[in-house]
Amino acid sequence: MTERVLAPFGRRRCEVVANRASGGYRIVSALDREGPEPRPGQFYMLATDRWGGPGGRPYLPRAFSVAEVERAGEGVRLDFLLEAVGPGTEALAALREGEALAITGPLGRPFSALGELAPTAAGAILVGGGIGIAPLALLRRELAARGVAQRVLLGFRDRRHAGGLELFACSPAGSPGGRAPRMSSEVRTASEDGHTGHQGYVTDLLAVLLEGDEAAGAAVYACGPPAMLEAVRGLCAAGEVPAELAMEAPMACGFGSCFGCAVPLRGGGYLRLCVDGPVVGADRIETALVAGSGH
Ligand SMILES: Cc1cc2nc3c(=O)[nH]c(=O)nc-3n(C[C@H](O)[C@H](O)[C@H](O)COP(=O)(O)OP(=O)(O)OC[C@H]3O[C@@H](n4cnc5c(N)ncnc54)[C@H](O)[C@@H]3O)c2cc1C
Ligand code: FES
C-alpha cells in the first residue's frame, strides 16, 4: 500500500503567494516552509484569519485536496483549486497575496501507484468531475514522471462550474515566457452544456474507453461528485477494471476523532474517510452515493 506522508503536529501558518481566477474556480497558492511534500490524493484542512466572522461561520477548518506542489527555495508551494460555495470557500477565495493561510496536513491516504492498484496494467485512466479534478492534476504529473501511459477525462456541468484546466497543461501556467500553457494531448473534456469537448457526461467518455481494447490493461483513478463516482464505480465493476475513488464527506476534524466522515463498507462496517481515505478502492464500498457529500 502506498505510504501516506504524515502531517507535522498542529496547525501552521503559511503565506499566500498567489490567488488567481481559473474559469469559474480559483487557484490559491501558499508557501509551506515547514511541511513535507504531500502525495497526490492527500488533503489539508484550511482556514483564514477571517474564520468565525459575522454569525460565527465558518467555525471549523475546511478540507481541500492539494492540486499541485512545487519545491520553492524555502519550502513547498501548495496550490489549491477551489470553488466558492459557502462561507469557508468564499473566505479562501478572497485571500490576498501576503495574507496568512492556516493549514493542517498533509492528511489522508494518497492514490496508490499503478503497480499496486493493478500490477498488470499498462496505463491509467484519470476521470475528474467539476472541482474534483483538483487531486488528479498532481497525480497526472507524477504518473507522467514515472513514464506511465495515461488518458485524462475531465467533465464539467457548465462554463460557470469549470476551471483548473491549466493544471493539466504540459508546462505549468506562469512558466517562463508567459505563453499560454499547452494542453497535454492525453486530456479530453466533456461538459453538460457543450461549452467544451463532448456534450454530455465525462463517464460517456470513460464508457467508450472501457469498451475498447484499453479496458483489459487499464486502471482508473477518479474524483468528482458522488453521482459521477458511482457511475465510474459501476462501469469499472462491470468491466472488472481496478479503480480508486477520491471521495468527499463532511469533515469536522480531518484526523479521525469525530467520525463525521464515516462511509459504509461493502459487507458491513465503516471507514473514516479522513484517515482510511479519502482515496478508497472502488471494490471496498457498496456505493459512492454517500449521504451529506457533494455540493
Ligand atoms: C477530502 C476533501 C477534499 C476536498 N477538496 C476540495 C477541493 O480541492 N476544492 C474545493 O473547492 N472543495 C474541496 N472539498 C470540498 C470543500 O471542503 C467544501 O466545499 C467546503 O468544506 C465548503 O465549505 P463552505 O464553508 O464554503 O461551505 P458550507 O456552507 O460548509 O457548504 C456549502 C455547500 O457545500 C456542501 N459541502 C460542505 N462540505 C462538503 C464536503 N466536505 N463535501 C461535499 N460537499 C460539502 C454543503 O452541503 C453545502 O451544500 C473537499 C472536501 C473533502 C472532504
Ligand atoms: S473528519 Fe473527523 S473522523 Fe474524519
CATH, residue 97:
2.40.30.10
Average pLDDT estimate for 129-133: 97
Residues in the chain: 295
Q: What is the gyration radius of the CA atoms in the chain, in angstroms? A: 18
pLDDT of the residue at 103: 97
Q: Which residues contact 155 (CB under 8 A, 6 or more apart)?
A: 127, 128, 129, 130, 189, 190, 191, 192, 201, 202, 203, 205, 224, 228
Is the beta carbon of 247 within 6 A of some atom in ligand 2? no
Domain boundary pick from 85, 107, 129 = 107
77 and 159, same domain (yes or no): no
Q: Which of 66, 194, 195, 211 is nearest to 125 (CA)?
A: 211
- The answer to whether residue 4 sits within a structural domain is no
Contact yes or no for 223/133 (Cβ under 8 A): yes
Is the beta carbon of 259 within 6 A of some atom in ligand 2? yes
Position 59 pLDDT exceeds 60: yes
CA of 29 to the centre of ligand 2 (A): 25
Q: What is the number of the ligand 1 atom nearest to the C-alpha of 91?
A: 26
Where is average pLDDT lowest: 72-81, 90-99, 165-174, 255-264? 165-174
Is the beta carbon of 258 within 6 A of some atom in ligand 2? yes
Q: What is the number of the ligand 2 atom nearest to the C-alpha of 249?
A: 1
User: Which residue's alpha carbon is at the smallest distance from atom 20 of ligand 1?
Assistant: 62
User: Which residue's alpha carbon is at the smallest distance from atom 17 of ligand 1?
Assistant: 63
**Parallel, antiparallel, or unpaired: how do β-strands 187-191 and 198-199 relate?**
parallel
Domain boundary pick from 107, 137, 152 = 107
Please state the pTM of the whole predicted model.
0.94
Instruction: State the first-to-last Cα distance of the chain, in angstroms, to the nearest integer.
Output: 30
34 and 77, same domain (yes or no): yes
pLDDT of the residue at 7: 80
**E strand or H helix at 31:** strand 25-32
Domain boundary pick from 49, 72, 107 = 107
Cα–Cα distance between 51 and 103 in angstroms, integer? 13
Cα–Cα distance between 219 and 231 in angstroms, integer? 15
Cα–Cα distance between 38 and 241 in angstroms, integer? 27
**Exposure b/e, 125-157, CB count within 10 A at least 16 = b:** bbbbbbbbbbbbbbbbbbbeeeebbbbbbbbbb
Cα–Cα distance between 135 and 222 in angstroms, integer? 9
For cell 457533494, the residue is 294
- The answer to whether residue 6 sits within a structural domain is no
Q: Which domain CATH number covers 213?
A: 3.40.50.80
Band (pLDDT 50/70/90 cuts) for residue 50 is confident
Query: In percent, how much of the chain has pLDDT > 70?
Result: 92
DSSP code of residue 203? H
Q: What is the number of the ligand 2 atom nearest to the C-alpha of 273?
A: 4
Cα–Cα distance between 248 and 19 in angstroms, integer? 24
Ligand nearest to the CA of 41: 1
126 and 231, same domain (yes or no): yes
The whole-chain average pLDDT of the chain stands at 91
164 and 241, same domain (yes or no): yes
Is the beta carbon of 85 within 6 A of some atom in ligand 1? yes
Which stretch, 44-58, 153-167, 176-190, has highest mean pLDDT? 153-167
Is the beta carbon of 295 within 6 A of some atom in ligand 1? yes
Q: Which of 155, 36, 135, 48 is nearest to 95 (CA)?
A: 48
Position 55 pLDDT exceeds 60: yes
Average pLDDT estimate for 50-72: 90
Where is average pLDDT lowest: 34-38, 138-142, 211-215, 264-268? 211-215
Is the beta carbon of 134 within 6 A of some atom in ligand 1? yes
Q: Grid coordinates in use for 46? A: 484550511
The domain tally of the chain equals 2
Average pLDDT estimate for 83-99: 96
Position 178 pLDDT exceeds 50: no
172 and 270, same domain (yes or no): yes
DSSP code of residue 66? -
Position 173 pLDDT exceeds 50: no
Ligand nearest to the CA of 107: 1
Position 181 pLDDT exceeds 60: no
Average pLDDT estimate for 168-175: 62
Band (pLDDT 50/70/90 cuts) for residue 171 is low
Is the beta carbon of 64 within 6 A of some atom in ligand 1? yes
Best residue for ligand 2 mutational test, from 263, 270, 274 (most atoms within 8 Å of Cβ) = 274
Ligand nearest to the CA of 259: 2
CA of 70 to the centre of ligand 2 (A): 28
- The answer to whether residue 295 sits within a structural domain is no
Average pLDDT estimate for 196-206: 97
Q: What is the number of the ligand 1 atom nearest to the C-alpha of 135?
A: 8
Q: Which of 89, 81, 173 is nearest to 130 (CA)?
A: 81
136 and 231, same domain (yes or no): yes
Q: What is the number of the ligand 1 atom nearest to the C-alpha of 25?
A: 11
CA of 263 to the centre of ligand 2 (A): 11
* Dihedral sign for Cα atoms in the order 146, 152, 156, 160: positive
For the beta carbon of residue 2, count every other beta carbon within 10 angstroms: 16
Q: Which domain holds residue 68?
A: 12-107
User: Which residue's alpha carbon is at the smallest distance from atom 34 of ligand 1?
Assistant: 295
262 and 160, same domain (yes or no): yes
- The answer to whether residue 3 sits within a structural domain is no
- The answer to whether residue 156 sits within a structural domain is yes
Q: Is 99 exposed, middle or buried (0-12, 13-18, 19+ CB in 10 A)?
A: middle
More confident: 41 or 183: 41
Is the beta carbon of 250 within 6 A of some atom in ligand 2? no
